[in-house]
Structure 1
Amino acid sequence: MWLPIHINEQSAEPLYYQIEVQLRALIVSGQLEEGLLLPSIREFAQRLKCSIITIRRVYQDLEAEGLLRTKQGTGTYVAKVENKDKDRYRLEAVIEAFNTAIEAGLRVQCSKEELYEIFQKALQRYQFN
């Protein structure tokens, strides 16, 4: 099974974190349905050209959050995620992205006003219902 996970080797974020964030987003958005069998740790690591330990950590972290479940001898599956939990994960992901963007702005000494302006311009690029 192919998963649309993209890693950026130039990023300051650890590899496991990049993979974990994207896999979590696929699960809570419903793009990966409950019961879906994920690639084995070895297979996933080979596809992403990373360490087996990296993928094991991602799977363990997401299993601890209740997003994955592992059945000994059969593999790792997407767990049932309640709607209230999906909403919480969804909003947490957006808040985290905002925090990362704000930190990037602060590193280059953007003012609060500049950050507001950037945010408003970014919102204008998208159409909302």
Structure 2
Amino acid sequence: MWLPINLNENSAEPMYHQIEVQLRALIISGQLANGTLLPSIRELAQMLKCSVITVRRVYQDLEAEGLLRTRQGTGTFVASVQEEERDRHRTAAVVEAMEAAIDAGLRVQLARSEMERIFEQVMNDRWKES
């Protein structure tokens, strides 16, 4: 099974985190349905050209969150996620991204008004694209 996960080797963000964020988004958005069999740890590591340890950590983290379930000898599957849990994960993902954007603005000492202008501009641009 092919997964639309894109990694940026030049990113300061760790590889496992890039994979985890994207896989979580695929599950939360419903692009990966309940019960979908995921590639084995080894297969996904080969597809993404990363370490088996990296993929194992991602699968373990997402299983701990209740988004994946593993059956010994069968594989790793997308877990059944209730709508309210799905909404909680969706909101948390957006809040995390917004906090990171705000932190970036603070680091370069942007004024609140400038951050708000950028936010509105990016939101308007994205809505036009979709």
TM bucket (normalised to shorter chain) is over 0.9
Write the letter of the residue equivalent to 2:23. Answer: L
Distance in 2 (CA, whole Å) between partners of 1:25 and 1:73 is 26
Shift of 1:104: 1.5
User: How many residues are matched?
Assistant: 127
RMSD of aligned alpha carbons: 0.8
Shift of 1:80: 0.1
Match of residue 74 from structure 1:
74
Tell me, yes or no, if structure 1 residue 29 matches structure 2 residue 29. Answer: yes
Write the letter of the residue equivalent to 1:90. Answer: R
Match of residue 114 from structure 1:
114
Residue 76 of structure 2 aligns to a residue whose secondary structure is strand
Moved over 4 A (4+): none
Q: State the TM-score, normalizing by the size of structure 1.
A: 0.95
Mapping 1:1-129, distance limit 5 Å: 1-125=1-125, 126-127=127-128
Residue 10 of structure 1 aligns to a residue whose secondary structure is coil
Identity rate, percent:
65
* Ranges in structure 2 where 5+ consecutive residues have no aligned partner: none
Q: State the TM-score, normalizing by the size of structure 2.
A: 0.95
Deviations 1:34-83 (Å, cap 9, x if unpaired)? 00000000000001010000000000000001000000001000000000
Shift of 1:100: 1.2
